[in-house]
Amino acid sequence: MAHAKLALQVPAPAPASSSNGPMMLDDSQNIDYSETFSPVMKPTTIRSILALAVSQGWALRQLDVKYAFLHGMLSEEVYMAQPPGFEDPTHPDYVCRLHRSLYGLKQAPRAWFQHLSQYLVGLGFVASKTDPSLFLYRSSSVIIYLLIYVDDIIVTSNTASQVTALLQQLANEFSIKDLGPLHFFLGIEAIHSKGLLLSHSRYIRDLLQRAGMTKCKPILTPMAVSSSSDSGGEKFSDPKRYLSIVGALQYITLTHPNVAFAVNRVCQFMHSPTNHHWSMVKCILRYLKHTSTHGFLLERSTNLGLQAFSDADWAGNDSDRRSTGGYAIFLGPNLISWQSRKQKTFSRSSTESEYKALADATAELI
């Protein structure tokens, strides 16, 4: 609470009373509520910067910001009931006006990101046009890339001394904890061995435990090569469990492109899963147990050329006759972006489905 400047104000005529959390005045409700999100770096951006750093032999540093949301400055008027135990005995009916954001406030993530981004711009950084969570600093001889995921920050540069100087500048404004070389972030292990190995082994073990499949039998493929129709069948008894597990599987595709197609398939039935769909999910989990020790390797290479490959089947989905398209994009020898999903429109020929997949790959490549 020491980070949040509070000023006692006379309460509004009819405020929404709450003794435990922030509250907005009636005439300010629903204002700026579309600007409460905090941008996070895209998976492709993460892999691209990591691949670049590995190829150039740059060091990767990891930072954590303590009490990040308390650093955000509020641009609108927000009032909060006096905290229990800290009420002003002379003015018990007064409320507090917040000048800084607090945890639990809807505006807090956005306010924190705006404060950090403005500070970085003041240091000479420029935000990427394609990913607002990527900041770049370039001078005659210094290049610095800074990735932001809420309060987790990854920094890499061609000059180690400049990274140290940057950390000192950030520490002057924020409570920064230097975690040293990149080793574990966003549930992903980063192992420095013949490049950089990204592993989800811990996350997979936790997911198997959550699904009650720690002792399941491993299999060699994430789904059957040919399966029956995905429609019909008895509805799954616990849809929330299905949503939870499938959502976790989507996160695993950050380092497991080999399950991208299978995970995309089970995601198509989240609105009304059946027992057959749950069996498909269990197949993926059994395959992940078999490959839980595998990782995603980023190799060092002097080749930084971009290559893209695309493919599509025609009317491969026997439920709605839509085509499935996919692509894979490489930065040198390193795979940095991939996708496998059902196309949104119907194709009249295999050529048309291929062109749609090619258009998606081209857009991602650019």
Q: 54 — phi, psi (to 5°)?
A: -65, -45
Q: Does the pLDDT of residue 14 top 60, yes or no?
A: no
Confidence category of residue 38, pLDDT binned at 50, 70, 90 = low
Confidence category of residue 353, pLDDT binned at 50, 70, 90 = very high
48 torsion bin: left (phi>0), alpha (psi -120 to 50), beta (else):
alpha
Poorest-pLDDT segment among 19-28, 42-51, 83-92, 243-252: 19-28
In angstroms, the CA 20 to CA 223 distance is 48
Q: Which of 232, 226, 244, 211 minimizes the C-alpha distance to 275?
A: 232
In angstroms, the CA 207 to CA 90 distance is 53
Q: Does the pLDDT of residue 227 top 60, yes or no?
A: no
Q: What is the full DSSP assignment across 73-116? A: EEEEEEEEEPPTT---TT-TT-EEEEEE--TT-TTHHHHHHHHH
- Once rounded to an integer, what is the mean pLDDT over residues 3-17? 41
Q: Tens digits of per-residue pLDDT, 178-188?
A: 999 999 998 89
Q: Does the pLDDT of residue 17 top 60, yes or no?
A: no
Q: Tens digits of per-residue pLDDT, 123-174?
A: 999 999 989 999 999 998 999 999 999 889 999 999 999 999 999 999 999 9
In angstroms, the CA 181 to CA 199 distance is 16
**CATH of the domain spanning 6-186, picked from 2.40.230, 3.40.50, 3.30.1490, 3.30.70:** 3.30.70
In angstroms, the CA 315 to CA 269 distance is 18
> What per-residue confidence (pLDDT) applies to 13?
34
Question: 3-class SS at 306?
Answer: strand
Give start-end residues of each CATH 3.30.70 domain in the chain.
6-186
In angstroms, the CA 42 to CA 136 distance is 15
Q: Tens digits of per-residue pLDDT, 300-352?
A: 999 999 999 999 999 887 777 889 999 999 999 999 999 988 898 899 999 99
